[in-house]
Amino acid sequence: METNLDSIPLAPLLEANQLVKRFGELLACNKVDLQVLAGEVHAILGENGAGKSTLMKMISGVYSVDEGTMKWLGEEVRLQSPAKAKAQGIGMVYQDFRLVPALSVLENIVLAITNKGVFMNRTKIRQQILEVSVRYGISVNPDAWVWQLDLGERQRVEILKVLLMKGTRLIIFDEPTSVLTPIEVDAFLQMLDRLRKDHYAVLLITHKINEVMAVADRVTVLRHGSVIYTATQEANFTGDQLVASMMGMKQLVKLEERTPWIASSQVPVHALQGRQLTIQDDHGQMIVDGIDISIEKGKIVGIAGISGNGQKELFEALFGLRALSSGSLIINGINLTSSPVKAYIDAGMVLVSEDPLTDSVIAGFTILEHMVLAGLPMKPKGLGMDWSYIRSQLQARKEVQVLGLADPDRRADRLSGGNVQRMILSRALLKEPSVLLVSYPSRGLDIGTTRSIQNMLIDLADKGAAILLISEDLGELFALSDELLVLSNAKLHGPFIPSETDAYTIGQIMLKGETA
């Protein structure tokens, strides 16, 4: 185990000089310089598509470098594959986890850190897992199956893989906290501090300015593929400065104040009514147990809960994607219990799932093709389609302009994470839903786009839509919701009025299903 590193180099651990990466015509990284020192947390900031992941993928050997050089401990290196980068001591914790669900935690770690398969000394590795878990506060059961783990636990396995790799000195995290609950985020930040004290170097991509201010020793801001700003903590940079340098000439829009919701009539008009809903997960376990849920028109109801506690299954069942074990569902006055998904879509419902990349992106299809498949009006031309007309219709839409949708002719599977999210959200809003089920709307979005989507959700509710919102960000839930519900231990708790409760109370119910 290499937790206490033997020597602290005086030269930068990594020095990247004038790195360039092109994808066809697109210049994703343009002459980027970057220094990383042992014992520092170096945050990489930038708007969606600024080139952060591309830069990290060059450093971790996933992408080849088109131009420029890299030095590792003062020596020039060519990191032509992830294996070469690992051999130098560079490990990356990806946004999309690379674990084998059918194997245990221990087996996944053994596979990752050896070339000898599963027959090596498991007792020793188990011991190492326990030691590293204790040292860095990364608790995970070595014998659990990976398919049983929630996102936070899977991330901890990825981190263990990197830490247990012999000789790791630089660890790259790509938006690590976007899948974590608030409590897990605190533990993660403490772990970074411990890593720093143990002289690891950390490169951290994040959109959360408060995390940067809490842990970063150094920041580098990218805009349109170029380094716009880099400084150590001694420069006393502020969060506002960092946001300004990310956004350039653009102004950060204000989050609209949510005006208190008032019923439009004496009799409640429910857009969604679920009665006594019981839902099983993929393994036949009851994950939602006889809950009632209803949303009136024009209301935003937020659901707080720890990922893996049934929100995903609840959303799928509310949209007809997952069979109800029992209960009934009425959407806009129509009883849709046991109806196919199409009936829910026809009733005006739209779902933004928690994993859009897997659930909603078709490999090889452009953004425009995704929009047409989702129902953007088509116009035939000859034997085919009038694509230029469809494109101009799309680009004229306010939602598309405000969210800054990428060029409609680009392939969706090659967009940056945040640009995929912009596509999914634009597509959802273009349908003008009367009932919107939206999971983690701001996941992966830069700060400006996060504000834009939050304002658009408020506008949609003001126009009469019923919105059910899942978010890991309690701040977002409190700012947007008229009512909060907590899903815990298969039951719904609440409703709570955001102005009459606090994050601590909600956090306690999330964890224990009850207060104190």
Ligand X SMILES: Nc1ncnc2c1ncn2[C@@H]1O[C@H](COP(=O)(O)OP(=O)(O)OP(=O)(O)O)[C@@H](O)[C@H]1O
Q: Which is nearer to ligand X, 411 or 431 (CB)?
A: 411
Smaller CB distance to ligand X: residue 89 or 418? Answer: 418
SS3 121: coil
Closest residue to ligand X using C-beta atoms: 418
Q: Residue from 12, 32, 36, 49 that binds ligand X (CB under 6 A)? A: 49
Helix (H), strand (E), coil (C) string for 6-37: CCCCCCCCEEEEEEEEEECCEEEEEEEEEEEC
Q: Which H or E run includes 4?
A: none
Binding status of residue 60 toward ligand X by CB under 6 A: no
Q: Where are the alpha helices (DSSP H) in 172-270?
A: 182-197, 209-215, 239-247
Stretch that binds ligand X, among 43-51, 130-138, 249-257, 323-331 (CB under 6 A): 43-51
Tell me the closest approach of the beta carbon of residue 211 to ligand X, in angstroms.
14
Does 48 help bind ligand X (rule: CB under 6 A)?
yes
Residues 54, 108, 450, 452: which binds ligand X (CB under 6 A)?
Answer: 54
Q: In this structure, how many other beta carbons lie within 10 angstroms of the beta carbon of residue 93?
A: 22
Choose one: 52-60, 129-137, 334-342, 466-474; the region binding ligand X (CB under 6 A): 52-60
Total residues interacting with ligand X, rule: CB under 6 A: 18
Using alpha carbons only, how large is the chain's radius of gyration in Å? 24
Residue among 31 and 414 whose Cβ is closer to ligand X: 414
452 in contact with ligand X (CB under 6 A): no
Ranges of H-type helices in 266-364: 311-318, 341-346, 356-360
Those residues whose C-beta lies under 8 Å from the C-beta of residue 188, and which sit 6 or more positions away, are: 176, 177, 180
Q: CB-hemisphere CA count at 13 Å for 486? A: 25
Least CB distance from residue 419 to ligand X, whole Å?
A: 5
Q: Is 507 in the site for ligand X (CB under 6 A)?
A: no
Exactly one of 35, 43, 52, 216 binds ligand X (CB under 6 A); which one?
52
- Shortest distance, CB of residue 26 to ligand X, whole angstroms? 6
Nearer to ligand X, 50 or 149 (CB): 50
CA–CA gap between residue 336 and residue 272 (Å, rounded): 10
Specify the residue, 71 or 410, whose C-beta has the smaller distance to ligand X.
410
Q: Distances from the Cα of 95 to the Cαs of 51, 172, 178, 228, 233, in angstroms?
A: 15, 11, 9, 24, 26
Alpha helices (runs of H) in 114-150, residue ranges in sequence order: 122-136
User: Which residues 400-439 are close enough to bind ligand X by CB under 6 A?
Assistant: 414-419
Our finding on whether 51 is near ligand X (CB under 6 A) is: yes
Gap between the Cα atoms of 266 and 436, Å rounded: 24
Among residues 179 and 331, whose Cβ is nearest to ligand X? Answer: 179
Closest distance of CB 52 from ligand X, Å: 4
Q: Which two tokens stand for residue 105?
A: 């935690």
Residue from 20, 26, 73, 345 in contact with ligand X (CB under 6 A)? 26
Q: Please identify, using beta-carbon distances, which residue of 95 and 488 lies nearer to ligand X.
A: 95
Nearer to ligand X, 169 or 422 (CB): 422
Query: What single string gives the DSSP state of each residue in 27-72?
Result: EEEEEEEEEE-TT-EEEEE-STTSSHHHHHHHHTTSS--SEEEEEE
404/433 with CB nearer ligand X: 404
The amino acid at 496: F
Mark the segment that binds ligand X (CB under 6 A) among 48-56, 191-199, 239-247, 393-401.
48-56
396 three-state secondary structure: coil
Counting Cα atoms < 13 Å in the Cβ hemisphere of 279 gives 33
> What is the closest distance, in whole angstroms, from the C-beta atom of residue 85 to ligand X in the complex?
17
Write down the least CB distance from residue 402 to ligand X, Å: 17
Output the CA torsion 398→404→410→415 (10° steps): -140
Please choose, out of 20-28, 78-86, 154-162, 427-435, the segment that lies near ligand X by the rule CB under 6 A.
Answer: 20-28
Taking CB under 6 A as the rule, does residue 28 contact ligand X? Answer: yes
Residue type at 323 in one-letter notation: A
Of the pair 311, 416, the CB lying nearest ligand X is at 416
Q: Which positions ≥6 away from 399 have C-beta within 8 Å?
A: 425, 426, 429, 430, 456
Which residue is associated with the tokens 């000394």? 121
Q: Does the footprint of ligand X cover residue 53 (CB under 6 A)? A: yes
Residue 23 as a binder of ligand X (CB under 6 A): the answer is: yes
| CB nearer ligand X, residue 162 or residue 415 | 415
212 binds ligand X (CB under 6 A): no
Residues lying near ligand X in the complex (CB under 6 A) are found at 23, 26, 28, 46, 48-54, 414-419, 444
